Amino acid sequence: MKLISWNVNGLRACVNKGLMDFFKESDADIFCVQETKMRKEQADFTFDGYHEYWYSAEKKGYSGTAVFTKAEPLAVTYGLAVGLPDGTSEPDSEGRIITLEYDDFFVVNVYAPNSQYELSRLDYRMAWEDAARAHILNLDKQKTVFMCGDFNVAHKEIDLKHPKTNRRNAGFTDEERGKLTELLDAGFTDTYRHLYPDQIGAYTWWTYTTITARENNTGWRIDYILVSERDKAKIKEAFVYQQVFGSDHCPVGLIFK
């Protein structure tokens, strides 16, 4: 099975920048995208040969996820099966998580909330993380889980170019990193780091605010594909497609036996 994940930062814009070339060339069994910023009915393009599942945010032009899959799933769930612990926020209005069930596994496409400037949304992010982890662990009790997407966090110092100067910045706080550690410790494997534990420069996002960031590979690795730890021996290959443009993120991929 070949699984691809890509934060496209606007699906229509990315299609106009060559997404379809990569989509056809990669020939993935399952292709997950984040930050679609659109609704399906707005699309003037099709993903031939694939079943399409879209989860758009209530707010127009914001967030959103979609999955394109060759094999029709048994079931599709939109949003989190559990609410946020604080009971004050609706977790399913931003189109952040789609779950597809197949005979032997689940695929969960995730676009984690950004903690924002001055960490104004960190508390919401922490509550969302707890709810998402509860959702994932419930699935993992049933069968293998693949969790992919933009996690909006660089886990270790090796996962961003300038860790020292980014401490306490959104995406590299102890709180955000701790939530990913908690998820991994609960029984999941970072597929890329499983194969390439010491690989530096394997970044998946580069800020648009610095013109030369991507050219100089001054980036962050914030896009992941995780798998249930008990199945890590079946990881055949993992990819970071830095040569693929069209977004401020690049795609990541997995081949699984």
Residues known to be catalytic: 111, 150
Torsion of CA 144, 150, 151, 156, to 10 degrees: 100
Q: How far is CA 150 from CA 87, 113, 137, 249, 257, in A?
A: 25, 9, 19, 9, 24
Answer left, alpha or beta for residue 35, where phi above 0 means left and psi between -120 and 50 means alpha: left
The answer to whether 37 touches 55, Cβ cutoff 8 Å, is: no
Number of H helices, E strands in the chain: 5, 12
Sheet holding 235-240, edge to edge: 51-55, 65-69, 30-34, 2-7, 252-256, 235-240
